[in-house]
Amino acid sequence: MSTTTSAPPASTEDAPTSRLSRISRLQALQILILLVVTVAVFTALRPDTFLTGFNIRGIVQNTAIYAVLGVGMTFVIITGGIDLSVGSVLVFSGVVADKIMVAYGGQGWGTVFVGLAAALASGLAWGLLNGILVAKAKVPPLVVTLGSLSAALGFAQIITKGLDLRDAPQTLVNDIGFGNIVGQVPTIAVVSAVVVIFGIVLLHRTRFGLYTYAVGSNAEAGRRAGVKVERHLIKVYAFAGLLAGFAGLLNLGFFQSTTIGGQSNTPLNVIAGVAIGGTSLFGGIGSVFGTVIGLFIPIVLQNGFIQTGVQPFWQQVVVGAVLVAVVYVDQLRRAAAVRGTPTRLPFLSRAGSTSRKGSA
């Protein structure tokens, strides 16, 4: 972390942008503090049960599938788009994978890899369709993905006649869904962490990530600078679809069922996590890390409320309030940043103080 001090001071031209990106990181940090405080409160209330290995393991397992979806969603939202179809694409991919694994037969790793290929291909297909409709046909992403939300679930129900499939091979269930990679570290969480780290590297370290920010900040400027905006949008939606397909296979391993009826709120939960994590729904700003933290918050709250005996319906109320409050605070800070006045965050000011010289 000490390497950060060598970051070059921002020049006057791109000062607003760097300030904005700095703030989005600040936001992720703030959410992390919120998460830590939440965990600390529940730990204090239930010292003997909350911070136990079993409970942490459970919380991480329950976040894992959302996190895989959240990575793709973060990219899509950074481009200024939205993907409402992830829950349905997850179900569809799970259904296709299940059918193909049954046709292939067996309970071992071979079958799982066949299922993986099927799930990824189905997810990718829906993602490409979304991307082409958004980028080439210029249909607003909200409408495109609302359409595929409905259609993908419909196809899944047509294939299954509405009956959940439950033929996940034993390896998928016992080794991936509920297995441990080492000790008590759940495989599904490690798989998800790998996806998250891949997403972080892709977003912050590669040209693909840079283009994603560029498309979301100012598509026209990106185009003039030589970014193939349409192709890039298609790639981003395809990536989100691919991850939804992957999540479909994980879901099949975790629930041993295609959960046709159970994913209707999934896209909204994921979008809420992305927004809480500091990614701007207007595009151009965001981080995968923030998303993961944003996804943990509702799950930790639910877990803590159950353990402290609070009526679980409160979780929805609190998550709703946190979502709006976080985005409001974020909005205030961004407005202040654009004006050039320093943000009033005394307890965090050191975290981003390396280049805090207002240009106005």
Residues forming contacts to another protein in the complex (CB under 8 A) are 1, 3-4, 7, 21-22, 25, 28, 32, 46, 48-62, 162-164, 166, 173, 177-178, 182-186, 189-190, 193, 196-197, 200-201, 204-205, 254-257, 259, 261-263, 287, 289, 299, 302-304, 306-307, 309, 312-313, 354
Pick between residue 142 and residue 158 the one whose CB is nearest to another protein: 158
The answer to whether 10 and 272 are in contact (CB under 8 A) is no
The least CB distance from residue 204 to another protein, in Å, is 5
The least CB distance from residue 304 to another protein, in Å, is 8
Pick between residue 143 and residue 150 the one whose CB is nearest to another protein: 150
Size (the chain), residues: 360
Answer positive or negative: Cα dihedral of 336, 338, 342, 347.
positive
Pick between residue 209 and residue 241 the one whose CB is nearest to another protein: 209
The least CB distance from residue 164 to another protein, in Å, is 6
Phi, psi angle pair for 186, to nearest 5°: -70, 135
The least CB distance from residue 234 to another protein, in Å, is 26
Pick between residue 59 and residue 119 the one whose CB is nearest to another protein: 59
Pick between residue 3 and residue 11 the one whose CB is nearest to another protein: 3
The least CB distance from residue 139 to another protein, in Å, is 28
